[in-house]
Amino acid sequence: MVDKRESFIPYRRTDLINLCLEDGKLRDEDIKIFREFCEILSAFFHFRFHQTLESIKDNYVVFNPNTDIQPLNSPSLRDHEAMKIQVIAGFNYILERANYQQLPNRIIQQSLDKKSLINLKTEIDFDDFEQFFCYYRGDIDETITQKKFGFFEREKIVDILERVVLLIHFKGEGYFQAKAKKNKQEKELNFIPGKMYLYFYKNIPKLDIELLFPNIRTSMTWKDRLLFGVPAIGAAVPLILKAVPNILIIIVAISILINAPSIVEFIKVEKEKVRDIMPILVATLSLTITLGGFAFRQYNQYKSKQIKFQKEVSDTLFFKNLANNASVFQALADIAEEEECKEIILVYYHLLTSQEKFTPEQLDRKIEQWMTEKLGIDLNFDIHGPLNNLQHIHGKIVTGKSDENEQIDVPILSYDEQGNILVLPLKKARMVIDYVWDNAFQYNGC
């Protein structure tokens, strides 16, 4: 059975801090210190993710299709490649920190073959992409009501992805020029070659994920073509039968002009009708109006169906869009910062208040159980991320007598010889994170 538990914590950081304080395991004099520890910790990680975000923005500027800012100096090919690598690395980093998962390519391929809510035949040319990445969070089943034949209603269970992030880097101008030449057709593109597009959506059916791609081609399914074509054939038959006499007159007239007596003998039409030009003109005009009008009516029906399909796609994307391009990085960095802080706070709180020692695996189960008891959620807690973060937060603390002012550099978290996790007491932990925050900038030459 597939484990659909999420590592994402669906509560605000401030709410989790209050939940820890309401747990009743901290002494009254420690409550203020714990809040201060969390406040400085949050400020430090906000600073760290701001640095990551600024690096991404600096490198994304040449790939941004919506930018109105140009670099003073155009990057070389080597610089251009390096900037692309930095953007992709930053993108993957903040998505992983935000507890999003990469969507397997087989799911995207599956969405092209199966339909969920929008009954369309879809095609995507993946060769158009230099690179593409798709991440998601929240894989849930949702029961929806659909109308069938305009009035019948039926319930359907749909697999929904609560959040979807897509990054697409299109190939350059030369590729699409060669493609148009090879296909012998000029097609207007819905994107700018060489640019990098980002999309952030909510509540997308897993089997409709292909609708998010800007180079998607849509058409009617075989079922829709039959529903469209069978009535068209049925309507065309009586029109053709009605037009047969006029068609025969035209054929005979042409046969006389090209001196084909065998055809004239075969088609039994009164010669008086053929010699008189007016019946021929009337027959030609009547046939043109009849078949032309039918063809125009059928074409309009096809275009109406096509517009309906496009409207369904547009409505799906418009009302579920959260952000595009550069704004996606900003939104994801904020989510990643929140997730990182929430995980660290939960880890430190449980190590601080527990009377027993934990290995990473034991602590992971402890936090998951605590979240289930307190909030009723089944969480797949990511234990290794916050442990690594706390282990790499080093700072100087004062030891010994106050008049000696001896300082040593220590991490907030460490391990004993048995692999159990150790953390600094609350006051020393606050002292370490305060030291790290105070020394985030070293511009005074010290």
DSSP codes of every residue in 219-253: E--HHHHHHHHHHHHHHHHHHHHHHHHHHHHHHHH
What does the pLDDT average to over 114-137?
Answer: 82
Q: Which residues pair with 321 in a beta bridge?
A: 201
Tell me, yes or no, whether 149 lies in a domain.
no
Tell me, yes or no, whether 295 lies in a domain.
yes
- Residues 342 and 407 placed together within one structural domain of the fold: yes
Asked if residue 430 has pLDDT above 90, the reply is: yes
Question: Which residue's structure tokens are 């007239």?
Answer: 253
- pLDDT confidence bin for 74, thresholds 50/70/90: confident
**Structure confidence at residue 107 (pLDDT):** 87
Q: What percentage of the chain has pLDDT greater than the value 90?
A: 52
What does the pLDDT average to over 54-82?
Answer: 90
Host domain of residue 302 = 223-307
**Structure confidence at residue 248 (pLDDT):** 57
- Residues 429 and 337 placed together within one structural domain of the fold: yes
Cβ atoms of residues 321 and 59 within 8 Å: no
- Residues 353 and 300 placed together within one structural domain of the fold: no
**Structure confidence at residue 271 (pLDDT):** 53
Asked if residue 289 has pLDDT above 90, the reply is: no
- Residues 397 and 299 placed together within one structural domain of the fold: no
Most confident stretch, 182-196, 284-298, 423-437: 423-437
Tell me, yes or no, whether 254 lies in a domain.
yes
Angle (deg, nearest 10), helices 28-60 and 326-353: 150
**Number of domains composing the chain:** 2
156: which 2 tokens? 């359907």
Tell me, yes or no, whether 53 lies in a domain.
yes
At 194, the amino acid letter reads: G
Using CA atoms, how far apart are residues 121 and 115, in angstroms rounded to an integer? 8
Using CA atoms, how far apart are residues 99 and 6, in angstroms rounded to an integer? 8
Asked if residue 243 has pLDDT above 60, the reply is: no
Asked if residue 402 has pLDDT above 80, the reply is: no
What does the pLDDT average to over 61-73?
Answer: 87
Of 241, 275, 307, at which residue does a domain stop? 307
Asked if residue 368 has pLDDT above 90, the reply is: yes
Tell me, yes or no, whether 136 lies in a domain.
no
Tell me, yes or no, whether 216 lies in a domain.
no
Q: Whose CA is closest to 289, among 333, 246, 339?
A: 246
Residues with Cβ < 8 Å from 374, sequence gap 6 or more?
19, 23
- Residues 299 and 334 placed together within one structural domain of the fold: no
- Residues 263 and 350 placed together within one structural domain of the fold: no
Using CA atoms, how far apart are residues 14 and 16, in angstroms rounded to an integer? 5
- Residues 293 and 333 placed together within one structural domain of the fold: no
What does the pLDDT average to over 19-40?
Answer: 95
This prediction's pTM: 0.78
Asked if residue 349 has pLDDT above 80, the reply is: yes
- Residues 296 and 263 placed together within one structural domain of the fold: yes
Asked if residue 71 has pLDDT above 90, the reply is: no
**Structure confidence at residue 97 (pLDDT):** 95
Of 307, 337, 370, at which residue does a domain stop? 307
Q: What percentage of the chain has pLDDT greater than the value 70?
A: 71
**Structure confidence at residue 446 (pLDDT):** 46
Beta strands across the sheet bearing 196-205:
101-102, 129-148, 152-170, 196-205, 321-324
Using CA atoms, how far apart are residues 229 and 68, in angstroms rounded to an integer? 48
Tell me, yes or no, whether 99 lies in a domain.
no
- Residues 419 and 362 placed together within one structural domain of the fold: yes
Give the range among 6-20, 195-209, 348-362, 399-413 with minimum mean pLDDT: 399-413
Tell me, yes or no, whether 354 lies in a domain.
yes
86 CA to centre of own chain: 20
For 195-207, write each residue's pLDDT tens digit.
999 999 999 988 8
Q: Which residues pair with 12 in a beta bridge?
A: none
235: which 2 tokens? 């309507």
- Residues 341 and 413 placed together within one structural domain of the fold: yes
Length of the chain: 446
